A and B are shown apart, each in its own frame.
Chain A
Amino acid sequence: MKPAARYGLAYTLLLAFALSLSGRCVLGQAATPGRFLYVIGCDARVDKLDTIAGRQVETYDLAKQTGKESLIPIVHGAFDSCLASQAVYDIKASMFFTAVPLSNEPKADGTKDYRVLTFSVPRMKLMKQESGGESLDAPPHLELQSERLKILKPSAWMPQTDLDLSAYSPDKAQTPNQILESSGDRVLLRLFTADDNQLVLAVADRKTQKLVRLQGVPTTVAPNVHIVPGGGHVLIEEIRTGEKPEKTGMLALFDGVTGKPQKELNDPHIRNLYFLAVSPTGRAVYHSSNNYWFVDLKMKFPPAPVSRPVSKGYPAFFFAGR
């Protein structure tokens, strides 16, 4: 007797359930949060990276995703400015927003008009276009507030650059500081002291109002210190100081709750690459143009975005589950 006949309906249902599960996996529906990193380059091309497989899996040219309408300038020769700036991901709607100039050439007064385009993820289908502002010195600032996109003039936006630490234990002192990065409830700070040359790093927890100083920090500079998604750890790139600071290839991971060093890794590849992000899947992603490199930190982090008050030096990017 054939099994299906022996077990009848129960077997068929079980088989159908199993097939539906495997089908979901094949289609990538059972998504790992933050598995894919989307990097939006200056030329409005999007590189999709699989942080688990450690490779680039797709490239999209946003200029070709706008249908018959040419919404992103076609540029012959050098760019005046980037063709796409910022990438704000709306995880619920599975869409991202980016600002694009209407033309490569600025107006006579140096300003440009902008539009904001919305694309679906992962298909990169144009969903919406709207004005991003006229005669602006710089691209508009995009922010998701209460699940709605806010488009702010660059002059109307100012990032928070420091934290009032007077209520933070143990010191409860208003120590002057600088926000380097933040994620979730945690904020990575540089604390200023009497000594100009001393780099004092700390993690402030907005929820518990606790401040933890990192201990035994390797030689580094502030731009090479990064909070991981969720803010539970801090990744520090060791820098060889001298006339021109250089990376040694050593990475140190610090516990953001205790401030103590947790592990060290060494990867000579990263010496000549630029830090991009730490993925929720636990990979530190490096790049130079669109050559990407992944360092496995052998940890997983919550899929919370990391924000930087000043994002210069980084292409726009976001993490998504598919």
Chain B
Amino acid sequence: MANPAVVLTVDPVGPKYPISEQCEMPKITVTAQLQNVTPDPKVPLQYQWKVTLSFNGQGCAHATQRMIKHVDISQVTSTNKFQIPFTQVRGGGLTISVTVAVAATTLTASTKDLVVTATNPSVGSLAGAAAPNQTFRKLIRVESGLRQFLSDTCPLFSGDGYGGVGLCQLTSPAPTDDQIWSWKENVKGGWALYKQKEAVARAFPKSVRDGADFKALVKTYNEKRQAKLKAAAAAAKPDAGTAAPIPDLAIELPDYTDDQLERDTLRGFNGYAGLHEYRVKVDKDGVLVVTEDPSATKGKAEWEQVTKEERIKFYDQNNVPTNKRGDPNYVEDVESKAGF
């Protein structure tokens, strides 16, 4: 006579169980069938279920040594059917086990080689979920080519090995487990980061205005202006004696325009590495460039966009390592892409 056993059947059969395009975990029902044993009808059976789902990045390009797990599921049922109550969006190797005591015998069974897989969003789904900001959407295209996953079993990790992941290639702060397996969470995280960088970019002009470097530039500009005006006054009236003191020009450094704010936000998203997208414009001798008001009491300094070449020069001058610079051409790359 054959030995008593419990056998598991899984519906659907698998072995792959895709997370839906809308980031819903698969619906999996498991049935435990007793074989070669007849339970006592007076004693109710208890099926102890255990489900583990984990991903360690093995076999995935550029994955870091990071274990990502769905919280273990343990549940007891009186019937032999069990629908897995996933509470998190996760992919990876799935193992379902059951233990059931029949008379004096404890029977166990486990599944093998089951995998919860990933599904990339369609452009339509992405457009429905991403913030309605074309710059941010173009950024997603540059970061990931609109892909959260490299394949159905692997999230898209950044090639630099720093664990950047998914549609927005979230790197720092390190992405959460949800942001690795749920493209919606990744986009949400990307947008939060974008807004955070926007706040930093918005605050930048004021921090420059208040800084010692800008004050020094203003002082030097006024020195230069004094020299010119004094010479002009002396030339006009050579016998006038000591000229009256020339008051300094009040020089304003404006806030960013919307376009400038957007570009500096993009730069921040990629990493400033010590240099924003704009800097105060100076001439070849390092003297502030100012447009003077006709009233001759005030003037306006201006922002200049840092070119790719100037950015690389700055990094080389300041010993910024190549792998800590980000992409010197990032802003142009994003702006050249199509929105969606």
Residues of A within 8 A of B (CB): 39, 41-43, 45, 47, 75-82, 104-106, 108-111, 137-138, 141, 154-155, 157-159, 161-162, 175-178, 190-194, 196, 199, 221-223, 245, 274, 287-290, 309-310, 312-315
| CB of B322 to closest CB in A, whole Å | 8
Bound: A290/B326 CA distance, A: 18
Let me know if B317 is at the binding interface, CB within 8 A. yes
Alpha-carbon distance between A42 and B160 when the two chains are bound, in angstroms:
19
Give the interface SS of chain B, mostly helix, strand, loop or mixed: helix
Q: Within 8 Å CB of A245, what residues of B? A: 284
Contact A41 B326 (CB under 8 A): no
Question: What is the bound-complex CA distance between A80 and B228, given in angstroms?
Answer: 40
Q: Closest A-chain residue to B325, C-beta based?
A: A78
Smallest distance from the beta carbon of A213 to chain B beta carbons, Å? 15
New A-B pairs, 14, CB < 8 Å, besides A110-B202, A289-B320: A41-B321, A42-B321, A43-B319, A77-B164, A77-B271, A78-B270, A78-B324, A78-B326, A82-B274, A105-B172, A108-B196, A194-B232, A245-B284, A310-B217
Task: Report how far A42 CA is from B272 CA in the complex, Å.
Answer: 12
Contact yes or no, B203 A178, CB < 8 A: no
Residue of chain B at shortest CB distance from A199: B285
Which residues of A have CB within 8 Å of B285? 190, 199, 221-223
Q: With the chains together, A42 CA to B326 CA distance in Å?
A: 14
Q: Give the secondary structure class of A's interface.
A: loop
The answer, among A154, A190, A288, A313, for a CB contact under 8 Å with B211, is A154
Given contacts A162-B219, A221-B285, contact A79 B227 (CB under 8 A): no
Measured between beta carbons, the chain B residues less than 8 angstroms from A161 are 216, 219-220, 223
Contacts of A76 in B (CB 8 A): 162-164, 171-172, 174
* Alpha-carbon separation in the docked complex, A313 to B311 (Å): 11
Please, which residues of chain B bring their CB within 8 A of the CB of A47? Answer: 319
Query: Which residue from chain A places its CB closest to the CB of B227 in the assembled complex?
Result: A192
Given contacts A157-B212, A176-B224, contact A315 B200 (CB under 8 A): no
Assembled-state Cα–Cα distance A45/B213 (Å): 25
Check A137 against B210 for contact (C-beta < 8 Å): yes
Contact between B272 and A81 (Cβ–Cβ < 8 Å)?
Answer: yes
The 5 residue pairs across chains A and B that have the minimum distance between CB atoms: A78-B271, A194-B231, A41-B319, A192-B227, A78-B326
Establish whether residues A105 and B228, one from each chain, have CB atoms under 8 Å apart when the complex forms.
no
Q: How far is the CA of A177 from the CA of B202 in the complex (A)?
A: 34
A314 vs B274: C-alpha distance in the bound complex, in angstroms? Answer: 12
**Is B298's CB within 8 Å of the partner chain A?**
no
Q: Is B273 an interface residue (CB 8 A)?
A: yes
Q: List 11 A-B contacts (CB under 8 A).
A: A42-B274, A42-B324, A43-B320, A81-B273, A109-B203, A138-B211, A154-B212, A178-B287, A192-B226, A289-B321, A312-B213
Closest partner residue, chain B, to A152 (CB atom): B212
Which B residues are closer than 8 A to A by beta carbons?
Answer: 158, 160, 162-164, 171-174, 196, 199-200, 202-204, 206-207, 210-213, 215-217, 219-220, 223-224, 226-228, 230-232, 235, 268, 270-274, 284-287, 313-322, 324-326
Taking CB atoms, residues of chain B closer than 8 Å to A77 are 158, 160, 162, 164, 171-172, 271, 324, 326
Selected from A138, A193, A288, the residue in CB contact (under 8 A) with B316 is: A288
- Contact in complex: A79, B274 (CB < 8 Å): yes
Contact, CB under 8 Å: A155 / B318: no
Most chain-A CB neighbours within 10 Å: which of B212, B223, B268? B212
B-side contacts of A194, CB under 8 Å: 227-228, 231-232, 235
Contact status of A110 and B272, CB under 8 A, knowing A42-B319, A78-B326, A137-B211: no
Given contacts A154-B212, A162-B219, A222-B285, contact A175 B227 (CB under 8 A): yes
Q: Are B215 and A75 in contact (CB under 8 A)?
A: no
Q: Is the CB of B314 within 8 A of A177?
A: no
What is the CA–CA distance of A223 and B317 in the complex, to the nearest angstrom? 13
Bound together, the chains give a CA A105 to CA B203 distance in angstroms of: 15
Give the distance in Å from the alpha carbon of A154 to the alpha carbon of B208 in the complex.
Answer: 11
Q: Are B272 and A159 in contact (CB under 8 A)?
A: no
Closest to B196 in A: A108
